[in-house]
Amino acid sequence: MPKKTATSNVQLRVLLATCILNLIMAGLILNTIGMYYRPFEQEFHVTRGIVALVSTLTGIGSAIGLLVADYLIRWLGPKRILTASLLISAVSAFLISSCHSMTMLFIGFLILGICQPLSYALITPVLLARWFHLQMVKVLGIATALTALGGMLFSPLVNWMISSFNWRISWVAEGTIILVLVLPCVRLLIPSDSDQKTVQESESPHGIEPKRPVYSSLISIFIVAGALYFVSGIAVHINAFGLSKALSGTQSAFLNSAFMIGAFLGKLTIGWFLSKLPNRMVTTVYVLLATLGMLGMILSHGFYLLVVFVLMIGLGQAIVLVQVPLILQEHLAPYQYTRVLSRLILVGTIATAFANAANGFIFDYFQNYQYQLLLNVLLYVFAGLILQKSLRTEEKKFRNREYK
């Protein structure tokens, strides 16, 4: 088989594997957690703030996983550590389905969170960065877009399973899907390290000048990521937000799907826009859409208007989930990328975990989500201004270097 054809086949397998991981592990398993809030409240007779701690503990678990993820990936390799994390994720799903106390539920979600970075969040950009170099801007958007598409497709299914059977059956089904579908597919698709060398030789970026300015300071990027990850904590409350607006369970699930549609479209398109248009222009548009969407959620009460505004919020997710990792990948060496990205996701995970709990407890106090959304508007504007300033500063440095 010609070397170029073999390389393309390996890359296609890697891309397909990361798409499956994002579709199932994020889209089905993690993006639908908010739909279990009401059943958990009714089953265990606790408040929204207490139930929201399951998402917080998932985030804490993810932070724990990120602390050792870089070491485990380098020690065991992506394929082995991915297999182990999928097996443990399936076990945690079965554990959650059999819980009869909030303590056991917290433990189950903590274990699920520990596996999160190694089952999709960190492993996706790491795998793509290893087997793709010049096409990273395209493939990262495609793979991460499947996260939102999975949430969009599976939200009605999870809602149907909860209402027709119960939440325990739904978690048994999710654990079974991981074992029967995800694990075998990923094992077959992820190539060996020897295949990676072939791809690196055929697609080495050596000698190619970067098209975008080099980011000398990572502090601004970490601040932006922390703020926007905090904002993303509202995602698990979308379904609960709909119920607080007196919408039906089906309508609330549709709001959740609308958010996922927006996130899917945002992740799918932002890579193309970044490659064709000035970064500052693209950033402005996506920040503006998300900000207007959150303001609309505060002011609007009609179902159809809420669908539009929630979709706009989903579009804004592309900044932190696609644009920021691309900035790091384009201007860091491979050995630096995994380490820096794991730390950035760690900061974001802590911010999201805190946001999940804060959103729940604020709801318990005020019985609405208006104040949480207003805070998110301010954070979006703050993050957008910092990112714009960083882009403008680095573009000036880049132009000065070209002039010299």
pLDDT recorded at residue 338: 73
Cα distances from 294 to residues 135, 308, 313, 375, in angstroms, run 33, 11, 7, 10
Give average pLDDT by consecutive 10-residue segment, the chain, 404 residues. 63 89 88 86 88 85 86 85 93 94 93 90 84 73 82 84 92 94 89 56 42 57 89 84 82 83 88 83 90 90 89 89 77 71 84 84 84 91 87 63 49
pLDDT recorded at residue 203: 47
- Euclidean distance between CA atoms 346 and 68, whole angstroms: 11
Residue 173 resides in a domain: yes
Residue 209 resides in a domain: yes
pLDDT recorded at residue 52: 81
Q: What's the number of domains the chain is made of?
A: 1
Residue 24 resides in a domain: yes
Helix (H) or strand (E) holding 365: helix 334-366
pLDDT recorded at residue 161: 92
Residue 207 resides in a domain: yes
Using CB atoms within 10 A of its CB, is residue 33 exposed (0-12), middle (13-18) or buried (19+)?
Answer: buried
Cα distances from 283 to residues 212, 288, 329, 341, 399, in angstroms, run 15, 8, 18, 20, 20
Residue 33 resides in a domain: yes
Domain span at residue 373 reads: 7-403
- Euclidean distance between CA atoms 363 and 255, whole angstroms: 18
Cβ-Cβ contacts under 8 Å for 248 (sequence gap 6 or more): none
Using CB atoms within 10 A of its CB, is residue 170 exposed (0-12), middle (13-18) or buried (19+)?
Answer: buried
Residue 397 resides in a domain: yes
Residue 279 resides in a domain: yes
Q: Are 330 and 209 in contact (CB under 8 A)?
A: no
C-beta neighbour count of 334 within 10 angstroms: 12
CATH number of the domain where residue 138 is located: 1.20.1250.20
Residue 2 resides in a domain: no
Could you tell me which of 380, 239, 369, 360 has the C-alpha nearest to residue 300? 369
pLDDT recorded at residue 5: 59
Q: How many residues does the chain have?
A: 404
